[in-house]
Structure 1
Amino acid sequence: MRSADIRQQFIRFFEDRGHRFVPSSPVVPHDDPTLMFANAGMNQFKDVFLGTGRRDYARAANSQKCIRVSGKHNDLEQVGRDTYHHTFFEMLGNWSFGDYFKAEAIEWAWELLTGVWGLPGERLYATVFGGDASDGLEPDEDAERFWQELTPIGADHVRRFGRKDNFWEMGETGPCGPCSEIHIDLGPERCDRRGQPGHACGVNGGCARFIELWNLVFIQFNRDAEGGLHELPAKHVDTGMGFERLVALLQDKKSNYDTDVFAPLIERIVELTGQRYSGQLNSDVDDAFRVVADHARMLTFSITDGALPSNEGRGYVLRRLLRRAAMFGRLHLRQRQPFIHRLVATIADSMGGAFPELTGSASRVAEVIRDEELSFGRTLDRGIVEYETAKKWAIAEAKDIAKVEGRTRPKACIDGRRIWNLYQTYGFPADLTRLMAERDGLDCDMEGFEAEREKAREKARAEHKAKAEAVLTFHGTLPDTDDSPKYAGWLAQARVLGWVRGNRLVAKGRLEGGEEVGLVLDRTCFYSEQGGQVGDAGEIVSPTGTYDVDDTRRLGEGVLHLGHVGDGYLEVGQEVQLSVDPRRDDTRRNHTATHLVHWALREVLGEHVTQRGSLVDPLRLRFDFDHPKPLTAEEIELLERKVNERIYADLPVRTQVLDTAEARKLPGVRAFFGEKYGERVRVVEIGDGFSREFCGGTHLARTGQAGFFKIVSEESVAKGVRRITAVTGPGAVEYVQRTHQRLRFAASLLRVPDDEVGVRLEAIVEELKKLRQGVGRGMTPDLKSKRDELLRSAEKVNDVTVVVGELPTAPVPQLRECIDWFRDQAAPAAVFIAARQNDQVTLLAGVTHHLMEYGVSANLWVKHVAPLVGGSGGGKADLAQAGGKNPAGVTSALDEARKWIRDRLVR
């Protein structure tokens, strides 16, 4: 059975049952700012489920083009390594909008699978929702009953599973409901976990024997911002079935890549590369075939639908995948010239019948891909040279660690800063660096890379925000903005009323790309900066362009969305889609924790504690309060314990809007900063009311969502005013992990258990004091004089003091004292000295720990230079020594030492 026939049979089956065939929407969504790519069949019907849109039909069916390359559906690393993960795929689906429900969906699914396609019913299993006490939901007995009454499936083939597997939600708020999945047993020979301890084959058992075919979602609830569930007045059905997996099953293929969906493409790659595809797993060549085939499809469909490679957003995803495919082609298919663009025509020929838009765009798409391949090829060679340097540093650092810690050499790891430099300078996506590192048996510091990337993002956001601040000089009156949706969720629709540019409100015309303004809308779900909480960031999408929001401010009754046009343009009067950056979740965590901190401070320090200010953003919370002296370590620990106890108790956080006079009568309620309140105020209450505050900010539904709380600093900001800075959730966990990593590193260097680091450091400090008191004793005046002269003539390279020169003959301990003296006097410093005595040469190199963190090693430095004086040597990353027998080579050696360190410091 051909794949084209399978697709058509699905559509015709549901057309015969009153469904409208709805063509696939583009993979590049033009009306949903929450999506980078269409990733499910229901995307184009989301407005119906949300109640903001309507259709002139109640039943629909289609095959939707989908791309999944980011977020929770990101399986990119598995693409090519197995036979069924894809970045681009088709999703067969049928929908009911307030029409039929569970009975029909279940009966028709069984009829199509067994009656039309002939799948053996005894190999099929159905799962249903088993209930969830936390939401007060009973098991889905209706779906369970319909399976047993309307199909011949055995009772033991209908299984109950929990919320993780059988409850579908569009997001943290909005439509949701139980689902019923259909699985098939492919036989015990298909298990890929045989022999693993504790494994038992079964539905949702985690092996390849049982696979999910079809998911039937029954949308019958709406989850509000407080986490509560409410029955929907109209119930919907949303089903999805992976096309490529279905075709493999019906064509009796073990791999999706062996079906006629991929066969023409695989054959074309064989023709272009001269390589042979055998369909094996754990084969570099076969993995490369699958990666190139998959990525070529994704690129062809996405560029056809309007995406283009770039350095931002979805454009970056395209560029990243193209470069990933090109890298696999070069490493394993021996392709040094562009070849991926030559696959576009094959894809258009094989898929154009179902998606005719491919045929007319093939030449344009091929040209775009070819240009990208050429561009990447020009930088790839330079990048590979830089990668090889990074690899050498990683290997050398692993050797140094082994020497310092006196243990077996650890696996070499490429530093996150170098991975970032490869990406930033040479266009190497991090996964390409990781791919090359895996080939070479190295690890990659991906946490360090992400930290560097976040620094760059923060810098860019700050620059945009600084430019946008100029619009706040506006002193006129803005149109009113209804911002009540800010408490309801992250999405909203609005109309453009105008924008503020400089000191002028523009209420007509077009806003062109790149302009920095303050956008004014009739309504918004963005929170505007107030009460210590920063304004939201996010994206606004119009039919003609996008607007990136960097900050949100209120002026009078109007709200300014500060930012810039990203793509295209906006016009006054346009309807736009609003999407708040998901980092608001982090802000909510920090804001609720701020209320807990205020309560805990009064518990620990006393009732005199009064809030003097606060700042709440996605990264941290900052709380200023009255207190006459620094907090002790014990007080800080007690504060943390009290806040975390309330977090772990998972207490409800409730809000209510009351008349101000009535609100002030609530027990223990607190108002701050001498703020002026209107006739009505919003009160945020936690648990049984132990914390009650006037607050207009966004908060969690329950304290448990904060996860974990950790104070990172306590300091004075004014006489009698202290400041606490803290982190929550993932940020708090990351802070503790980083702190513990530093402790472990210190313990390994000191060769003591973690809990003895403090004692050992105290002893070392005392030893250093004694040593420094003796530095210089016994040195000749000539040595001291030359030492001082070298420091005065030292050069600065990227803020690092570089001392390279020759000292008079002296005992090695005195030369080492000179190294220590230079490092103490001029940190951060890199020092390289030579001393001659008769026909012998001594070389010493030393660097401060700051430079070691950036991969500069004294050990490698001295090893590189020593051959020029006919010698060899080595040492540790911070101090190394070599000896030689060619005094005539000292001048050349010092020149090479300067060149070596400059090359590393200017990168």
Structure 2
Amino acid sequence: MKSQDVRKQFLDFFASQGHLIVPSAPIVLKDDPTLMFNNSGMAQFKEYFLGNATPKSNRIADTQKCLRVSGKHNDLEDVGFDTYHHTMFEMLGNWSFGDYFKKEAINWAWQLLTEVYKIPKENLYVSVFEGNAEENVPFDQEAWDIWKELIDEDRIILGNKKDNFWEMGDQGPCGPCSEIHVDLRTAEEKAAVSGKSLVNNDHPQVVEIWNNVFMEFNRKADGSLEKLPAKHVDTGMGFERLCMALQGVTSNYDTDVFTPLIEKVEQITGAKYTTNDVILSASEESQNKTNIAIRVIVDHVRAVAFAIADGQLPSNTGAGYVIRRILRRAIRYGFTFLDIKEPFVNQLVAVLANQMGEFFPEIKLQETFVTNVIREEEASFLRTLDQGLQLLDKVIADTKKALPSEGLGRISGAKAFELYDTFGFPKDLTALILKEKGMSFNEAEFDASMQAQKARSRAASEVSTEDWSVLIPGNVETFVGYDQTENEAKITRIRKVDSKKDGVLYQIVLDNTPFYPEGGGQVGDKGILVSANETIEIIDTKKENNLILHFTKQLPENIEASFVAKVNTELRTLTSRNHSATHLMHQALRSILGTHVEQKGSLVNSSYLRFDFSHFAKMTETELQQVEDFVNARIQEQLPLIERRNIPFAQAVEEGAMALFGEKYGDHVRAIKFGESMELCGGIHVKNTAEIWQFKIVSEGAVAAGIRRIEAITSDAVKAFYATQENTLNEVKVALKNPQDILKAVHSMQEENSKFKKEIENLVKEKIEGLKNILVTEFQEINGVNFLSKQVNLSMSATKDLAMAIGSATPSSFVFLASIEDGLPNIHCFISKELVSQKGLNAGNVIRELGKFIDGNGGGQPFFASGKGKNVSGIKEVLEKAIDFVK
């Protein structure tokens, strides 16, 4: 059965049982501060389990793209070394929100597996929660009784809290679960060892394929459990493992989910993947490493490609750093074990898009963009790898020099960690390179450095969140901020949050609020809550699990009082102008650069707007001016806002509204239109484009491969910009003695400056020639090398020219010159090419070593290198120590 059919039969089965089939949410979560990525099928339904929103149906089924590479659920380091863990995977799931419970969930699971998919019953085992006395949760007798009607009791396993009690996180909905495991071993293997003994013991052919979670508790901040107001079902079946079971193979990677990708890797690299990882001899050790490398690559490209398609670009922080790390892990395995030194992972995107584009159209529609981003990231990291290899060579050389009596020795574990932290070198790559040179590194030091970094990271991000104190139970919060900026409100719930970063803050939820919560790139509103006796400042507004959270540094004395919620209208007005201008600029970019332009990120606040978009070339001054002119023309047209709320998503898109990739839209959406610009947007906007007044681009540049960023200003910020420009122009006029024609005066000054520069250059050349004639007489002959070390009174560039001139004029020369420019020292080393080849001298190594004495660094080629520093007093010692290289 092909994987596409496996997926379809699952969804068709649950549709026949009255379930609404919904699409996968994006793999990247943008509105959930507790998660970076969708790490389970239930993540997009958290607000329903928490009772903060009403689902469109009490029965839902889907297949969800999941990514487990951070936090509590992290499978990254297992990927490649076994045949069933993945970073990105599909989770097939069916859900009940206060509807059916254990009986229906278990019976349907059994029916689907044994009657529809026709998995032999004798290959299946199930587990039931054994209970936990400490938490006063009893043995799941109900699940046991249901299962024993379907399967022999000797195939039912009691599971402990670790295996059979599922929790969303440290807090939140949870409950006992019932897992289904499949035994894919041969008849002979089953006869020799019972599959029951292998369940939950990491056996590659006895694996869990489905988990039925029965959510009936809520985990509180103090660790205690309380009953949920309604019982829910949350199931998840691993799509890749299910395909393995149905396609008669013993590895996820042997299914048609992965084989097309593996075949492409074989074609690119010339390597051959084998399905048998059993190591019988030293020669097969190499094949096993090849298999691991190929599994890593085909797994990781899925995670990276879908994350980029959903709007998460590789970067140096947050979720972007995780994606970059996954991609670099794939590149490293190709580099180390498949000997691929050029970008290649990007070539797999076309295969992936062809495989999965029908069910996940985003990967097909974004194929070119994803390919280009990955290619640029690969090229960049391969350059970084090269730099890291150079650094490792230096560390090896320094270690050999420091430990001549101890053989080749070990390099510092801290240095090995620096390679990992700065250049992305894993322990195994560093160990491999060192092993080839008869060396190793101090693993205990490496591990200590790693733990210290993790401790710093944990300390920086540590957050303690108390349980909600609910003042008005059952209230459904209402947002009225599109029409009002102040209204009467009551507090419905509060909680305290203590973090290392922000200190103690309080989160307040109101029964209705005019405060816009951060979202869609727009910052959250600020303002105040006013009662009869006090005023509380709202410093930020965010949304979490469908609740609008108002952040304060203090709680009201009377939390049950009536309040007037007042938005800071000055900040909101400026923000709305920037947000509306962002829509007009998006339209301008697509009109001027082409429809390939798509929004890839934005920030809108009261000061400026920032807009990231897909485009693979730097914008010209002409293009930037055209964008400015386009937006300002729309402002001058005084286009009214046409806002349509709560219209069907399909209708809005059909009418021309632009939906952004990676955003999660409901069945009904809000559309914002100014003239021909129409986008789906939940943000705050001006009533007429005339309110924006003026639009001005202040910068344009690259932020990632294939991504450009524009920063721009509107309204009062443009007025301030022009005022600053005018002040600057007046200062220039004063500096130029108030000429009648400023431009003419500037041109005259430039011509005069150019004339003086040429005169100075000629004088410097004469000075260099004179110094050369003097210094060539000062060489010392040492061990067949003509050596010269000297400080001169020249600029850095002139000193470099002098060193080259002296060295080129003298055979077998080693020239080391130093000078001071703008109060900072600089050093230069020239070594004749015959000395480089015959004596192994290297100017780059000389500069790096001696640069330490002037608190600097530098580098270059073996025959010439330069460096700069901060410590002028070190020049004397540098000049004295240069001779050590030729003695």
2:305–2:370 contact (8 Å) kept in structure 1: yes
Aligned position for 2:271: 275
Aligned mates of 1:410, 1:199 — CA distance in 2: 50
1:344–1:366 contact (8 Å) kept in structure 2: yes
> 3-state DSSP class of the match of 1:300?
helix
Aligned position for 2:827: none
What's the CA shift for 1:894? 5.1
What's the CA shift for 1:201? 3.3
Aligned position for 1:338: 343
What's the CA shift for 1:412? 4.1
Aligned mates of 2:45, 2:442 — CA distance in 1: 43
Residue type at the aligned position of 2:41: G
2:130–2:160 contact (8 Å) kept in structure 1: yes
Aligned mates of 1:319, 1:299 — CA distance in 2: 8
Compared CA separation, residues 508 and 120, structure 1 to 2 (3 A) = closer
What's the CA shift for 1:227? 2.9
What's the CA shift for 1:493? 8.1
Aligned position for 1:69: 69
Compared CA separation, residues 51 and 394, structure 1 to 2 (3 A) = farther
2:518–2:541 contact (8 Å) kept in structure 1: no
Q: Tell me, which stretches of 5 or more residues in structure 2 are unaligned?
A: 278-284, 463-487, 500-505, 531-538, 558-564, 568-578, 580-599, 607-851, 853-877
Deviations 1:711-770 (A, max 9, x none): xxxxxxxxxxxxxxxxxxxxxxxxxxxxxxxxxxxxxxxxxxxxxxxxxxxxxxxxxxxx
Aligned position for 1:569: 603
2:176–2:215 contact (8 Å) kept in structure 1: yes
Aligned position for 1:231: 227
Compared CA separation, residues 539 and 200, structure 1 to 2 (3 A) = farther
Residue type at the aligned position of 1:256: N
Compared CA separation, residues 173 and 460, structure 1 to 2 (3 A) = closer
Residue type at the aligned position of 1:5: D
2:273–2:291 contact (8 Å) kept in structure 1: yes
* Residue 316 (str. 1) matches residue 350 (str. 2): no
Aligned position for 2:495: 486
2:496–2:507 contact (8 Å) kept in structure 1: no
Compared CA separation, residues 430 and 205, structure 1 to 2 (3 A) = closer
2:129–2:159 contact (8 Å) kept in structure 1: yes
2:507–2:552 contact (8 Å) kept in structure 1: no
1:191–1:201 contact (8 Å) kept in structure 2: no
> 3-state DSSP class of the match of 1:135?
coil
Match of 2:301 among 283, 296, 299: 296
Aligned position for 1:353: 358
* Residue 5 (str. 1) matches residue 31 (str. 2): no
1:66–1:89 contact (8 Å) kept in structure 2: yes
Deviations 1:639-687 (A, max 9, x none): xxxxxxxxxxxxxxxxxxxxxxxxxxxxxxxxxxxxxxxxxxxxxxxxx
Compared CA separation, residues 102 and 200, structure 1 to 2 (3 A) = closer
Deviations 1:480-525 (A, max 9, x none): 99696335999978689999xxxxxxx999999899x9966879xx
2:493–2:508 contact (8 Å) kept in structure 1: no
2:32–2:545 contact (8 Å) kept in structure 1: no
> 3-state DSSP class of the match of 1:65?
strand
1:63–1:93 contact (8 Å) kept in structure 2: yes
Aligned position for 1:47: 47
Compared CA separation, residues 392 and 37, structure 1 to 2 (3 A) = farther
Aligned mates of 1:32, 1:393 — CA distance in 2: 48
Aligned position for 1:887: none
Aligned position for 2:30: 30
Aligned mates of 1:299, 1:135 — CA distance in 2: 40
Calculate the TM-score normalised by the size of structure 2. Answer: 0.52
Aligned position for 1:177: 175
Aligned mates of 1:337, 1:895 — CA distance in 2: 39
Residue type at the aligned position of 1:65: K
Aligned mates of 1:144, 1:316 — CA distance in 2: 44
What's the CA shift for 1:70? 1.4
Match of 2:250 among 254, 259, 266: 254
> 3-state DSSP class of the match of 2:233?
strand
Aligned position for 1:382: 387
What's the CA shift for 1:318? 1.3
What's the CA shift for 1:417? 5.2
Aligned mates of 1:292, 1:227 — CA distance in 2: 40
Compared CA separation, residues 8 and 223, structure 1 to 2 (3 A) = same
Aligned mates of 1:489, 1:140 — CA distance in 2: 37
Compared CA separation, residues 442 and 72, structure 1 to 2 (3 A) = farther
Aligned position for 1:120: 120
Aligned mates of 2:87, 2:509 — CA distance in 1: 33
1:79–1:85 contact (8 Å) kept in structure 2: yes
Aligned mates of 1:60, 1:509 — CA distance in 2: 28
Aligned mates of 2:148, 2:518 — CA distance in 1: 60
What's the CA shift for 1:190? 9.8
Residue type at the aligned position of 2:290: V
Aligned mates of 2:545, 2:219 — CA distance in 1: 29
What's the CA shift for 1:38? 0.6
Q: Tell me, which stretches of 5 or more residues in structure 1 are unaligned?
A: 404-408, 462-478, 500-506, 524-535, 573-855, 857-890, 901-907
Aligned position for 2:163: 165
What's the CA shift for 1:419? 1.9
What's the CA shift for 1:245? 0.9
Compared CA separation, residues 455 and 182, structure 1 to 2 (3 A) = closer
What's the CA shift for 1:121? 0.8
Backbone CA RMSD of aligned residues: 5.0
2:289–2:337 contact (8 Å) kept in structure 1: yes
Aligned position for 1:80: 80
Aligned position for 1:15: 15
> 3-state DSSP class of the match of 1:318?
helix
What's the CA shift for 1:24? 0.6
Residue type at the aligned position of 1:485: I
What's the CA shift for 1:231? 2.2
What's the CA shift for 1:33? 1.7
1:28–1:38 contact (8 Å) kept in structure 2: yes
Aligned mates of 1:392, 1:383 — CA distance in 2: 14
Aligned position for 1:904: none
What's the CA shift for 1:540? 5.1
Aligned mates of 2:355, 2:10 — CA distance in 1: 19
Residue type at the aligned position of 2:139: P
What's the CA shift for 1:142? 0.4
Deviations 1:28-68 (A, max 9, x none): 11321211111111011111001111112111111110111
1:414–1:442 contact (8 Å) kept in structure 2: yes
Residue type at the aligned position of 1:374: A
Residue type at the aligned position of 1:219: M
2:412–2:441 contact (8 Å) kept in structure 1: yes
> 3-state DSSP class of the match of 2:100?
coil
Larger mean CA deviation between 63-72 and 273-282 belongs to 273-282
> 3-state DSSP class of the match of 2:227?
strand
Aligned mates of 2:492, 2:435 — CA distance in 1: 50
Identical positions, percent: 42
What's the CA shift for 1:458? 7.8
Aligned position for 1:101: 101
> 3-state DSSP class of the match of 1:236?
strand
1:421-460 matched pairs, under 5 angstroms: 423-424=421-422, 426=423, 428=425, 442=441, 444=443, 445-452=446-453
What's the CA shift for 1:343? 1.0
> 3-state DSSP class of the match of 1:56?
coil
2:82–2:204 contact (8 Å) kept in structure 1: no
Aligned position for 1:612: none
* Residue 203 (str. 1) matches residue 237 (str. 2): no
Deviations 1:173-192 (A, max 9, x none): 22111111111223378989
Deviations 1:783-824 (A, max 9, x none): xxxxxxxxxxxxxxxxxxxxxxxxxxxxxxxxxxxxxxxxxx
1:434–1:443 contact (8 Å) kept in structure 2: no
> 3-state DSSP class of the match of 2:103?
helix
Compared CA separation, residues 50 and 272, structure 1 to 2 (3 A) = same
What's the CA shift for 1:163? 1.2
What's the CA shift for 1:132? 0.7
What's the CA shift for 1:305? 0.5
Aligned mates of 1:238, 1:79 — CA distance in 2: 25
1:33–1:540 contact (8 Å) kept in structure 2: no
What's the CA shift for 1:430? 7.1
1:785-800 matched pairs, under 5 angstroms: none
